[in-house]
A and B are shown apart, each in its own frame.
Chain A
Amino acid sequence: MFEFLLRMGDNTLVLGHRVSEWCGHAPVLEEDIALANIALDLIGQTRLWLGLAGEVEGQGRDADALAFRRDAWDFRNLLLVERPNRDFGHTLMRQFLFDLWHLDRLADLCRSADERVAGIAKKCVKEADYHLERSKDLIIRLGDGTDESHARMQAALEALWPYVGEMFTDDALDMEMADKGIAPLPSAQRARFGAALNGVLSQAMLTRPESDFARQGGRTGTHSEDLGHMLATMQFLQRAYPDARW
């Protein structure tokens, strides 16, 4: 259960952090506002998931201890969400792919046999719905915009495609969660995701990559080089001043 909650909370923590890196640097003021809003939602969701994870673990760790005092190998997020921001197109495509998975996942979790999980999912699902509405709309408009915006969105999709498959692979922990009725198997989402994705990509004039190669490891703690750098920044104060309260 603890590991399952880390998987949920680390996704929102890491993606929320990535999105917050844009603060003040977005292409237009409205996007600065929208990105701050999304980061804020994701950080809020992190506090719920990691807060519950700390409670379930029972070792006296709260959400902050889990966010700021674990090293990369203890993180359980999808590799997708730790991908660097690169250009705004990458940031939007990463958000869209995550949102499409996330909304569906949360909708499933609203029916979890664990009331605490269902409770958090119900709080988060409305935000995720708005996130998807926004990211889907931008993917369509930019895919079907200028030649350059189209090329950038296609390039982003291809670069991020190897990180999509990890969202739908099942392991022993997923089986256990499914058996207990806490969370359905990730693989059960694959077909719904694919259908919804195809619909958006066709409106966006984007081509779905053919490769079915899926890079894996994030959910079990083997991350990319990027996560270590992100944590070095994010955890700096807690690590440098371990006795301080903020």
Chain B
Amino acid sequence: MYAQEVKSTGRGVKTPEEMSAQERAFQARIDAGEKIEPKDWMPEGYRKTLIRQISQHAHSEVVGQLPEGNWITRAPTLERKAILLAKVQDEAGHGLYLYSAAETLGVSREELITDLLAGRAKYSSIFNYPTLTWADIGAVGWLVDGAAIVNQVALQRTSYGPYSRAMIRICKEESFHARQGFDIMMKMANGTAAQKAMAQDALNRLWWPALMMFGPPDAESVHSAQSMAWKIKVMTNDEGRQKFVDQTIPQIEYLGLEVPDCAARLNPETGHYSFTDPDWSEFFAVLKGNGPCNADRMRARNKAHDEGAWFREGLLAHAEKHQQAAE
């Protein structure tokens, strides 16, 4: 998932006594593992939280094209170029499914995009980091898609039907993305000294932002409780982060690279790694717009939208003319 700090109702979770009969019946359906469908009754807070989460996820897919697109024109072989093109095409496709899932909740893609372009909507903090070398393309596939998969696999069980189904489809493609990223890392880590240095550098830079993708620690995550009760979220931030660390550290070792966190240790009793928290002040700074690439990403999206206005208007005008002619 590419959603962080999704605002929920802003209040605590209601007790059954505080709920109306309708709300109690809704919660009972959720608790029984039923899927909620677009025409079903739902609390307004559920609808709004879902719109925020799904649209944030969709925006992330769209903005996420930019850091990878940054290397499509410099991909080192025809095969790598083709694979990266296919991957970025998938991301754009994920954006489409997710906007469609959000539209089932009564908002339009246009409204959501307007919010993104005006800076009112969020997208994942990770895409505000630059891709500086070819190894970053490997690391993005491996770490960023790897972290996203941890969340998305869980989200296949989310309570909202259209979102859950979009996740099932997206997960199939994401696992290919993570594998292609790891494959690039394998080549780099086992390549020349310069390639290995690039691989280590990419890991060092992207490790911490990847950990941040899961959102702030549970103790400080103010919006999680209600989303968990509604099964909009099905795993806490810390659970996801731990799972990611546990699966990734052995992969780092397999690559022969150094774990960027010298305090990371496997606890043989629990089977989990202990690790250092990322710098949360950096995370909140990036969310506020002060990441290395926030301004560039939004400038690129706005430029594409503004310069494409004539294209969209031209197609609309043509469709209207022909509709009139047909009537």
Measured CB to CB, the residues of A under 8 A from B are 13, 17, 20-21, 23-33, 36-37, 39-40, 43-44, 46-47, 50, 63-64, 67-68, 87-89, 138, 140-142, 144-146, 148-150, 152, 233-234, 236-238, 241, 243-246
Contacts and interface: CB of A to CB of B under 8 A. Distances in A.
13 contacts: A24-B65, A24-B66, A24-B92, A33-B92, A40-B85, A89-B311, A141-B319, A142-B311, A145-B316, A149-B315, A238-B76, A245-B191, A246-B187
B311 to A, nearest CB: 4
A245 to B, nearest CB: 6
Contact of A24 (B88, B184, B187): B88
A29 B62 contact: yes
A52 B89 CA distance: 28
B93 A148 contact: no
Contact of A244 (B82, B96, B194, B314): B194
Interface stretch (B30-38, B67-75, B173-181, B258-266): B67-75
B314 A241 contact: no
A88 B96 contact: no
B270 interface: no
Contacts of A233: 73-74
A18 to B, nearest CB: 9
Given A141-B314, A152-B310, A24 B80 contact: no
A31 B92 CA distance: 10
B324 interface: no
Nearest to B133: A237
Contacts, number: 148
A32 B312 CA distance: 13
A27 B62 contact: no
Contacts of B65: 23-24, 32
Interface of B: 62, 65-66, 68-69, 72-82, 85-86, 88-89, 92-93, 95-96, 99, 134, 184, 187, 191-192, 194-195, 300, 303-305, 307-319, 321
A244 B196 CA distance: 11
A246 B76 contact: yes
Contact of B311 (A25, A37, A88): A88
A30 B313 contact: no
A143 to B, nearest CB: 9
Given A33-B89, A146-B314, A24 B304 contact: yes
Given A27-B305, A241-B192, A44 B82 contact: yes
Given A43-B85, A145-B313, A245 B66 contact: no
B304 A27 contact: yes
Given A27-B311, A43-B82, A244-B192, 19 more contacts: A13-B78, A20-B73, A23-B65, A26-B308, A27-B309, A28-B311, A28-B312, A29-B96, A33-B96, A36-B92, A39-B85, A40-B86, A43-B81, A141-B315, A141-B318, A142-B318, A146-B313, A146-B314, A149-B310
B310 A146 contact: yes
A243 to B, nearest CB: 6
Would you list the 10 A-B pairs with minimal beta carbon distance, nearest first? A27-B308, A149-B314, A145-B314, A24-B65, A36-B89, A23-B69, A246-B76, A237-B76, A24-B69, A27-B311
Contacts of A44: 82
Contacts of A67: 78
B62 to A, nearest CB: 7
A148 B310 contact: yes
Contacts of B307: 27, 87-88
Contacts of B81: 20, 43
Nearest to B95: A29
Contacts of B313: 145-146, 148-149
A26 B304 contact: yes
Contact of A234 (B66, B73, B195, B321): B73
Contacts of A33: 89, 92-93, 96
A238 B187 CA distance: 14
B300 A23 contact: no
Contact of A142 (B95, B192, B314): B314
A29 B304 CA distance: 10
A27 B312 contact: yes
Nearest to B99: A29
A246 B311 contact: no
A23 B73 CA distance: 9
A31 B93 CA distance: 11
B96 A30 contact: yes
A47 B81 CA distance: 11
Nearest to B80: A246
A157 to B, nearest CB: 15
Contacts of B74: 233-234, 236-237
Contacts of B318: 140-142, 144-145
A118 B91 CA distance: 35
